[in-house]
Structure 1
Amino acid sequence: MLKVIHGSEVSAHQELMDRVFRFRHGVFVDEKGWEDLRQPDARERDQFDDAHAIHQVCLRDEEIVGYQRLLPTTRRHLLTDVLGDLCRTKPPRGPRVFEWTRFCVAPSHREVRPRANGAFLELAQGVVEGGMANRVDTVTVAIDWRLMVIAMQLRFFVRPLGFPKKIGRDEVVALRMSFTGETLTTIRQARGCDGPVLERPERQSSAA
């Protein structure tokens, strides 16, 4: 089960969110070498960690093993204000589009091929569940280009928005990824579980 924390509720989850920001710094800065994100306090936060962000945290016995953030594209977001050079065409925006950012899995829980009980598939299902609860059917994302194949295998409809660019140790590409009920069914089949992964799948006002 993914823990969902809305940006407006971060103050009520200070200890966990402090660990989240340290986790993000450890993955994106220390491991991946995204030096522009380096912070002296070793907590990776940016201007989009505001009241409109939706944080999804994957826990195993209180250990953070995965994380992702969803942002409404009706406001400023990464592909409009920070990573615009990844896009040769304008990324889609609107109430039916989320930006999927800071997706990461702890090194100790990564697999060459995502496992049924692994954090990767749980996070992927969380994006689709959260999107469908908010009448969203598309996400934009900047990820390692090698994850495109896995996304298509999970029945995301993937369209590159530009060419890969070296960021730190990664080759990052901006993508438009749409999903349907078939995507959710495929992920559930891969996980061998029909149940939800979000503790609160209801519609969120921050997507408006």
Structure 2
Amino acid sequence: MAVVYVINERNRHHYRDVIDRYYSLRHQVFVGERGWRALASREGREIDAYDNAEAVYLLALDGERIIGGLRLGPTTQPHLLSEVFSHLASFEGVLQGADIYECTRFFVARDDRSGRTNCTLLAAMQEFCLSQNINHVTAVVETRWFARLRRAGFEFRPLGAPVLIEGLPCVAIAADISEASLATARRLAGLKGSVLVRHEHRNLREQSVCAGAASYQLSHAS
């Protein structure tokens, strides 16, 4: 079963290879598959200004293979919605606050695109946010994601009208984080408890073995 690793500034040096592979996979998904040519890189790694010290990555791994991921960042700092897509928040402006984070670069790898993998990542995001007193998450999503989010138990509202981005209707949203929506996402993903692995000192291979022996392991809050 896949587990989701929390990677932040404090432990990132233990995951250099994982992060490098994650950037390459992001390039494959967003540039190669979705055709976001503005993100193209000669090195084949998709990195932007928000892959900074504040970024928190939740990466789903099956063994050592990355099967999906997302990036979280504080809205109290410059972020994609405030700096690039502020026009999408025309209803009430860009939401910012210590308890509001932005979710970006959500993806599932081509061979693992199932509702279960999506819901595992959504559950991991909510679990992490609840542990950090993050009550809301903003994001720019394709409108087709509305049904998925509602099915996963999310309460959310649009921050503006849909706008075409790369030929697809997209909208900025603010989603509530709650124990109820976490429980729904866990049920849909077939999870009985936490899926997060958060370590400071063990290497990935050791963590994979440990994660397989227990439903989750949690240490050293971010």
* CA distance in 2: counterparts of 1:160 and 1:80, whole angstroms: 15
Distance 1:40 1:119, change over 3 A: same
Contact between 1:100 and 1:139, CA under 8 Å: does it hold in 2? yes
Contact between 1:8 and 1:50, CA under 8 Å: does it hold in 2? no
Task: Give the match for residue 104 of structure 1.
Answer: 107
Contact between 1:73 and 1:93, CA under 8 Å: does it hold in 2? yes
What is the TM-score with the length of structure 2 in the denominator? 0.84
Task: Give the match for residue 37 of structure 1.
Answer: 39
Distance 1:105 1:186, change over 3 A: same
Contact between 1:91 and 1:176, CA under 8 Å: does it hold in 2? no
User: 1:169 offset after TM fit, Å?
Assistant: 4.8
* CA distance in 2: counterparts of 1:163 and 1:8, whole angstroms: 38
Task: Give the match for residue 150 of structure 1.
Answer: 148
Contact between 1:58 and 1:66, CA under 8 Å: does it hold in 2? yes
The Cα offsets for residues 142-178 of structure 1, whole Å up to 9 and x where unpaired, read as 1111111111122211111122222225332211111
Distance 1:16 1:5, change over 3 A: same
Q: Which amino acid aligns with 2:14?
A: A
Contact between 1:34 and 1:167, CA under 8 Å: does it hold in 2? no
Q: Which amino acid aligns with 1:6?
A: N
Task: Give the match for residue 196 of structure 2.
Answer: 198
User: 1:14 offset after TM fit, Å?
Assistant: 1.6
Runs of 4 or more off by more than 4 Å in structure 1?
none
Query: Alignment partner of 1:57: what SS?
Result: strand
Determine which of 62, 70, 73 is the counterpart of 1:71.
73
Contact between 1:3 and 1:57, CA under 8 Å: does it hold in 2? yes
Determine which of 59, 83, 93 is the counterpart of 1:90.
93
* CA distance in 2: counterparts of 1:106 and 1:53, whole angstroms: 21
* CA distance in 1: counterparts of 2:12 and 2:109, whole angstroms: 22
The alignment covers a number of residue pairs equal to 199
The Cα offsets for residues 111-133 of structure 1, whole Å up to 9 and x where unpaired, read as 3xx1xxx3211100111011101
* CA distance in 1: counterparts of 2:35 and 2:168, whole angstroms: 8
What is the TM-score with the length of structure 1 in the denominator? 0.89
Contact between 1:54 and 1:69, CA under 8 Å: does it hold in 2? yes
Contact between 2:117 and 2:189, CA under 8 Å: does it hold in 1? no
Once the two structures are overlaid, the 10-residue window that deviates more, 86-95 or 67-76, is 86-95
Contact between 2:154 and 2:176, CA under 8 Å: does it hold in 1? yes
Q: How do 1:1-208 and structure 2 match up within 5 A?
A: 1-88=3-90, 89-111=92-114, 114=115, 118-200=116-198, 203-204=221-222
User: 1:79 offset after TM fit, Å?
Assistant: 0.3
CA RMSD, Structure 1 to Structure 2 (Å)? 1.6
* CA distance in 2: counterparts of 1:8 and 1:37, whole angstroms: 27
Q: Which amino acid aligns with 1:189?
A: R
User: 1:25 offset after TM fit, Å?
Assistant: 0.8
Query: Alignment partner of 2:197: what SS?
Result: coil
Task: Give the match for residue 202 of structure 2.
Answer: none
* CA distance in 2: counterparts of 1:66 and 1:140, whole angstroms: 19
* CA distance in 2: counterparts of 1:26 and 1:154, whole angstroms: 27
Once the two structures are overlaid, the 10-residue window that deviates more, 177-186 or 165-174, is 165-174
User: 1:192 offset after TM fit, Å?
Assistant: 2.8
